[in-house]
Amino acid sequence: MTSHEIASVVPDEVARFLASGEDEKAGESLRDYAERLARAEPGRGIEWARKASSALIDRPLFGAYLKWAAGVVHHLTGEPARAEKDLAQAARAMIRCGRLDLADRASLLLIDCHGEQLRLDRARKLAQRLERRFVQRGDSERGAVALANLACAEDAADRVDRAQKLWRRAMRRMAPGSLRHLLARANLANSAALAGRFSHASREHNEIADVARALGLDNLALHAELNLAETEFAVGRVEAAFDLWHRVIDSSRIEGDIGMELVAEIDLATAEAEVGELDLAEARLTRSLPRLHGAGLFHDEARALRLHAVVDGAHGRFDRWRAAFDSLRGPDMQMQRDLLTVDMAQLDPTIDPPDIVRAARRLATAGLRHRALLGLAWAGERFLDRGNRRGARRCAREVLASTRASAWARLVSHHVLGRMDGPGATRHLFRAVHWADHLHGRLSALSDRSAFLRVRGDVYLDLMATLLDRNTSRDRRRALDILSRFRSSWFLDEIERRADLGDDPEVLRWQDLRARLASLLRRMEGPDEPRIRRFGVHIHRELKGLEGELLETEATLARRIPVLLPDAIGRSVSTELLDRLPRDEVFVEYFLDARDLVVFIVWRGKLRVERIRNAAPEIRSLAASVRFHMDTATWREGSSSRGSAHALRHRLRRLGELLLPPLPADTWDALWLAPHAELYHLPWAALEFDSGAALIERSVFSLVPGAGVAAALLRDRPPSPHRVAFGAASTVELPMIEKEISELARMVDGSVALETATRDDFLAMLSSFDIVHLAGHAVVLDGMPSASGLRLSDGYVTVHDLAATRIAAKLVSFGVCSGVRMGDDHSDHRYDSFLRSLMAGGVRSVVGAISPVKDDVAYAFDLEFFRGIRDFGNPGLAFRAAVEALRRLNPNPAIWGNFHFYGDHRPWSVT
């Protein structure tokens, strides 16, 4: 290479040293230059390294330095194989020049490169050799660097304990406060975070950032902040973590450190995906991917491509991930391709199982055993989907035989074996349910969590179906317990969580998010209610973002405060219910699976199960029709109303034929009814027996979310209420509200009435009165029930506001539209409706309409209901009397069947 050509590769300063014959100084300067270039402009750095690496130069020592510098660039830009080659060549060239000391220094980085490619044996041998030689030369600090680099390699292969020991050994030999000491300390803190010692890690990263800044090591300070963001996120301080990431991104941009900036962007996108802000994450990834490619940050580009594919998968889009897979080209990217295969195996059912197995085997060879076993577990699931039972069994057994399989991999494998009807299938399903309980809310990686949410229901329901097929007395009980665990465990769980409303940062964030949700609703709500008239896609998107954050907060809380299942009440739900249900009362729970209607009936100390084969599709179709008539009833006039009533009665008769026969033929005094999913929105009071009598004529009844809640309510007698409050937000369009409140106040002695109640007034009523009634206007979102709001005079009270309030009320009644409606997702979470939020706060009974209700109808019902309360002291009887009175006024079941009584219908203990 001519001097002119050298000048084109090296900067001026290096060229000057070369010109004066100081090759070693030139080489050292060149290495520093390469490091700066790789960090600031990775793309240009790679271009430069390619040129430098292939340069032929007649100055051997400087030529070796050129290779070293190229190796540094390739190492920093995520190309360990290229870096390994350059550094090995550099070391050999140094030895040929007789400079074993320099060869050893260049080899230090080789340890890292071996580690990144999971060649642990090579890394260990090299590190030991280098450490010994440096110590012999009296350079114990560089010996310590060899140990620290080996620690990184051990860490990359998940050998965390070994890595920690090595970092500690290394730190003892390094000068405290030196750059190397700080780097080792930072690595150790990261490792502590991985081991769950977050507070220690957080403290360390904070200190490292301060020290680095004081020493002028801005790059290291930013690194420490980047690590700190991860730690803060891991402990649930999400806002703080997001602030840190944004700060790192801004600072890196100012400093021109594009590598750091993009790493922070990808970390932030990963966190956004984890908290459910998939749209934000996707936008960030879409912005960052071309920059990552342009900058030549291949390792981070691969990470971003994988995440992008998983976000797509979580959205149910599987058409783009194969393109991402194809773009991860070359042998260096094999591991990334395999990791992506395992991620997507969980989400995309079309992926070929042998491909998953191959990816899993390679990951196992590379030392990533956890991910490999998860891949195998999912290969088993996909084999079974395709009818390959042998392949499925082999994969599942291999996973379960390994001591390293995670709870998630075990769940999937037990589920596979449980679905195969082989020996011990039921035992496997029980184990799968055990792990599903254990994992609820604990999985954070987006692909794992999305897949868990999809598979969880099947795990419980498969076990329930198996137990019902066996149909022994014990199995029937266990089936009801499983259904309760799946459908109504939220109730006890929420009551327990409410005891934790202290200064816990996650609980505070939970409350803050709910306040933001309420203010968002206030902002969006106008006189013409655009989000209701149309679907409000844009607003829904914004609301969904908040909702996603709230659910993530829930998950974080669940990680720390384990979910309390109904079993936690001491005995199983079925045992508790069988013991406590009075002999003259009936409990019935209806569950629709894909084909059948399953009915659990508890009556006179016995549990019976009826399975009505192939009834589910017809019931679903009838339920959809019924809901259509209920939801359009306030709209209809004249012939339209008559036609609707005629069709509705026909549907209700047919539903009565399908749903009511399992009830005991004998007389009973009261009925507890737990309908799930589509069945919830039926006008149960209006369902007809064969005789033509409506259910409301037969006895007092109430709806409950499931056996777990019924068992919990039956533990105590309902106390007698003393303080009664009536609140309203009257408007000109709804003239009956004002009248209703004043008449109710006259009817109930000593009650408190507010015709223009504010948000605070209503929440205060809930927290200090026994019975609270609200008359007014409600906005209910079927697609996002938790964002629904009750309009007060100064704004909305949302479902989340109710969830955040300490509630004393035992009975709440709503004189508003759809006050006890639930969402359409049938996900059975606690924010599904106003009523669930209230019950989870300790309210025993909630009364209201499931569909829109006219002003005069609500007025008539509310007055009759409170007249019954005053006269009977029995909420169940009061409800029945009010419904009957309304029926006499208007025989259309869409009007009088619209009202539900939810929860405890029993008479109060002292009237």
Partner 1 sequence: MDHLTEAHIIDLIEGEGPSEAEAHLAECSQCRSAQRLWQERIESLREMSRESLDDAELHRLRVLYRQLGPGKDQAPRWIARLVRSSAAAPAAARGVASGEIMEYSAGPYTLMLRVGAQGSRSTVSVIGQIATNDRDRGIGGTFALTPPNGRVRLSDVDQFGEFNLPEVAPGSYRGTWWFGDQIMVVHDVEIGTDDEP
Smallest gap from Cβ 777 to partner 1, in A, equals 5
Stretch that binds partner 1, among 431-439, 628-636, 760-768, 804-812 (CB under 8 A): 628-636
- Contact with partner 1 (CB under 8 A) among 852, 868, 875, 907: 852
Phi, psi torsion values for 221, nearest 5 degrees: -60, -40
- Interface map 281-320 toward partner 1 (x if CB under 8 A): ----------------------------------------
Q: Are 277 and 545 in contact (CB under 8 A)?
A: yes
Smallest gap from Cβ 617 to partner 1, in A, equals 12
Q: Which amino acid is at 624?
A: A
For the record, the structure tokens of 510 come out as 């939970």
- Contact with partner 1 (CB under 8 A) among 282, 332, 348, 855: 855
Residue whose token pair is 């955040």: 804
Q: Does 386 bind partner 1 (CB under 8 A)?
A: no
> What is the number of residues in the chain?
911
Q: What's the distance, Cα to Cα, between the start and end of the chain in Å?
A: 103
- Contact with partner 1 (CB under 8 A) among 411, 507, 546, 817: 817
- Contact with partner 1 (CB under 8 A) among 31, 99, 821, 905: 821
Distance CA 898, CA 861 (A): 10
Instruction: Go through 708-728 and write b for each residue having 16 or more CB atoms within 10 A of its CB, e for each that does not.
Output: bbbbbbbeeebeebeebbbbb
Stretch that binds partner 1, among 107-115, 215-223, 441-449, 849-857 (CB under 8 A): 849-857
Nearer to partner 1, 67 or 777 (CB): 777
Q: Does 404 bind partner 1 (CB under 8 A)?
A: no
- Contact with partner 1 (CB under 8 A) among 144, 780, 797, 838: 780
For the record, the structure tokens of 182 come out as 């700080």
Q: Does 529 bind partner 1 (CB under 8 A)?
A: yes
Q: Does 820 bind partner 1 (CB under 8 A)?
A: no
Distance CA 697, CA 490 (A): 32
Q: Are 843 and 807 in contact (CB under 8 A)?
A: yes
Count, residues near partner 1 per rule CB under 8 A: 60
Smallest gap from Cβ 345 to partner 1, in A, equals 24
Stretch that binds partner 1, among 137-145, 255-263, 477-485, 633-641 (CB under 8 A): 633-641
By the 10 Å C-beta count (0-12 exposed, 13-18 middle, 19+ buried), 737 is classed as buried
Residues 540-599 that bind partner 1 (CB under 8 A): 544
For the record, the structure tokens of 465 come out as 């179906």
Nearer to partner 1, 354 or 783 (CB): 783
For the record, the structure tokens of 468 come out as 């019902």
DSSP output for 690-739: TTS-BHHHH-EEEE-S-HHHHHHHTTSPPPPP--EEEEEB-BTTBTHHHH
Nearer to partner 1, 45 or 819 (CB): 819
Stretch that binds partner 1, among 345-353, 404-412, 603-611, 732-740 (CB under 8 A): 732-740
For the record, the structure tokens of 428 come out as 């496997």
Nearer to partner 1, 129 or 650 (CB): 650
Smallest gap from Cβ 840 to partner 1, in A, equals 20
Smallest gap from Cβ 760 to partner 1, in A, equals 21
- Contact with partner 1 (CB under 8 A) among 206, 632, 756, 890: 632
Nearer to partner 1, 418 or 823 (CB): 823
396 phi-psi bin (left φ>0, alpha ψ -120 to 50, beta other): alpha
- Contact with partner 1 (CB under 8 A) among 7, 495, 647, 752: 647
Distance CA 521, CA 535 (A): 14
Nearer to partner 1, 61 or 894 (CB): 894
Q: Which amino acid is at 589?
A: E
Smallest gap from Cβ 632 to partner 1, in A, equals 6
- Rounded to the nearest 10 degrees, how much is the dihedral formed by the CA atoms of 401, 404, 408, 413? -10
- Interface map 224-243 toward partner 1 (x if CB under 8 A): --------------------
Q: Does 532 bind partner 1 (CB under 8 A)?
A: yes
Count of alpha carbons within 13 angstroms of residue 130, beta-carbon side = 29
Smallest gap from Cβ 752 to partner 1, in A, equals 21
Cβ neighbours of 471 (radius 10 Å): 11
Distance CA 349, CA 521 (A): 38
Residues 503-522 that bind partner 1 (CB under 8 A): none
Smallest gap from Cβ 849 to partner 1, in A, equals 8
Nearer to partner 1, 112 or 855 (CB): 855
**Beta carbons within 8 Å of 266's beta carbon, 6+ residues apart:** 285, 288, 292, 300, 303, 304, 307
Q: Does 818 bind partner 1 (CB under 8 A)?
A: yes
- Contact with partner 1 (CB under 8 A) among 195, 624, 693, 910: 624
Q: Does 739 bind partner 1 (CB under 8 A)?
A: no
Residues 781-810 that bind partner 1 (CB under 8 A): 781-784, 791
Nearer to partner 1, 205 or 777 (CB): 777
Note the helical H segments in 633-713. 638-659, 695-698, 707-713
H-helix or E-strand spanning residue 220: helix 218-234
Q: Which of 886, 883, 880 is nearest to 907 (CA)?
A: 880
236 phi-psi bin (left φ>0, alpha ψ -120 to 50, beta other): left
For the record, the structure tokens of 493 come out as 């769980």
Stretch that binds partner 1, among 181-189, 568-576, 624-632, 800-808 (CB under 8 A): 624-632
Q: Does 269 bind partner 1 (CB under 8 A)?
A: no
SS3 595: coil
Smallest gap from Cβ 850 to partner 1, in A, equals 10
Q: Are 683 and 643 in contact (CB under 8 A)?
A: no
Q: Does 826 bind partner 1 (CB under 8 A)?
A: yes
Q: Which amino acid is at 894?
A: A
Binding-site ranges for partner 1 (CB under 8 A): 529-539, 544, 621, 624-625, 627-628, 631-632, 634-636, 639-640, 643-644, 646-647, 650, 733-734, 737, 775-784, 791, 815-818, 821, 823-827, 851-856, 858
